[in-house]
Structure 1
C-alpha cells in the first residue's frame, strides 16, 4: 500500500485561513456583488463538513474495500505508480466525477445525498464544506472502472482528494472571472456559481470537477450571464439550519413519494431513478422543462 499523505487533513488550516480572508474581504472591502456570510448558514455548513469527516472514516473503509476487491480480482492491466499514470488518472478521475455529479442531479436516489451541497442560499467558501453524510456510502460506484483498468486504489483515493481540494476555492463570489484561457479549460468560481444557481437557465449545468471541458463536450455547459444574477439554493428551499434535517430531509421526501399513496410498482420505482421534480401524475416539472419554459419567455436573451 503506497504511503500517500492525507492532503485533506493537511489542507484544513488552509480552509480556515481562506474563509477568514474571504470574510475580511467581503466585509471590509464591502463588495457590492457579494452577499457575504450569514452566521447560522455558515455554522450549518461547517457542521455538515464535520459530520462528513466523521462518517468518512466508515465510508472510506467501504470505498477502499470495494476498490481493492475490483483491483485484486478483476483488473485488466496493472498500471504502475508513475508520473505518466497520474496524468492518465487525472483525466479518468475527472471524467468519473463529471458523470457522478451529473447523475447526482438527474437521478433522485443520488440527489437525495447530493442535495445537501445545494441547500444553502448563500455562496461562499463555507458552502464548500456543506457535504453529504450519506453519499460516500454508494457514490463510489462511478469510480469502480478505474481499478478495473488497473489503477491502484491508493492512487485513486489520492486523486479524488486532489479534486475535492481544488473545488474548495471555486465556492466564492469574491472572484469574478479568471483569465479567459483559464475559464475555457478549468472549472472556476464563475462556472460553479452557475452550478449552484436555482434560476431555471442555470439548473443542472456545469457539473465539472476540475476541467470544464466535459460540460462543453457533453452539452451541459452554461456561462454566467450578466443579465441573470445567480439565485443560490434549491427550486424549493428547505429553510432550515438543522444539520440533521439538511442531511436527511430529501431522503424522507423521496421515500414518502415512492412508498405512500396509490401508485403502481413501476411508478414507485420511478421516484427513485427519475430526476428531482418528476411526479407520476404529471404535476411536477424537472429542470429541463423549467429551463425550456424560461427560454420561451426570455427569447431576447
Structure 2
C-alpha cells in the first residue's frame, strides 16, 4: 500500500524537513502547501531531487478556517491522482503540523481491517442540530485574510457581519443536507476521484464559509457517493490539544494527556519542544520504528 500525505504546514524548516524525511522513507509521497515563500523555497531546494516530495505550486497558500484549505487539499489530491506510474491507496491529510503517533505498520494494520473504507469523523447533521443550517447558510466576510484563524477581533467582526448579512436575507441557498465533523480524514483512491470529479461544487458552495474544511468532506461524499458515505468508519483518529477535535477552533498542539485520552489515535497535532520535551524527542522516529 502507498499513501499520499496531503500536508499544510508552517512549521520551522528543521521540523518540516525531518517530517518529510520520515514520511517518505517507506515509499509514501508527500504533497505539501507552505505559506511562507522563503520556507517553501528552502524545502523545494532540499528535496528537489526527491520524486516523492511535491511542493504545491498551483495553490501555494492556504489557511485554516476558510475555503483556501479545503480547495488546496483537493488540488493536492488531483495532483496525486495525475501522477504517472504511481497509484495511491490512501490519501491522508496532516494539517497544523500533525505527526504520526503510530508506526506505519500499525497504521496500515488498522486500515486493512476495513478494506475499501473511508475514515472521517462526522459529529452531527442538521437533523440533529437545526441551528447548523443557519450557521452554514451565512456568508462570513474577511475569512480569506492572514489574521482570520487567530485574531479575536477579526473573528468577532466576521461573525457579526455574517449575522447582519443574514438578517438582510443575503445567504447561500443550500439544498443538500448539512453535515459537520473533524477536518482530518483518511480516504481511499475511489473517494478521492469522486471528490475531484466534483471539485467545482466545493469552490461554489463554501466560498466565504466558516471553517469549510469541517463541511466539505462529509457533505460532498454524502451527496456524490452516498453508499461510500454510509459505509465510512466514523472514528476520530487524531489527538489534538488535551483530547479530540473542537469545532471551529484553532487547532491546539498535541499533549501527553491527549494521547492518553485518545489511545487509538493514529496521528496527533503538532508537538511542542517547550511543553512536551520528552514526547518531542521521540516522535520523529515513531513512524519508521519497524525499520529498526
> Aligning the two structures, in what range does the TM-score lie when normalised by the shorter sequence?
under 0.3
Please tell me whether Structure 1 or Structure 2 has the larger radius of gyration of its CA atoms.
1
More helix per residue: 1
Q: TM-score of the superposition, structure 2-length normalised?
A: 0.25
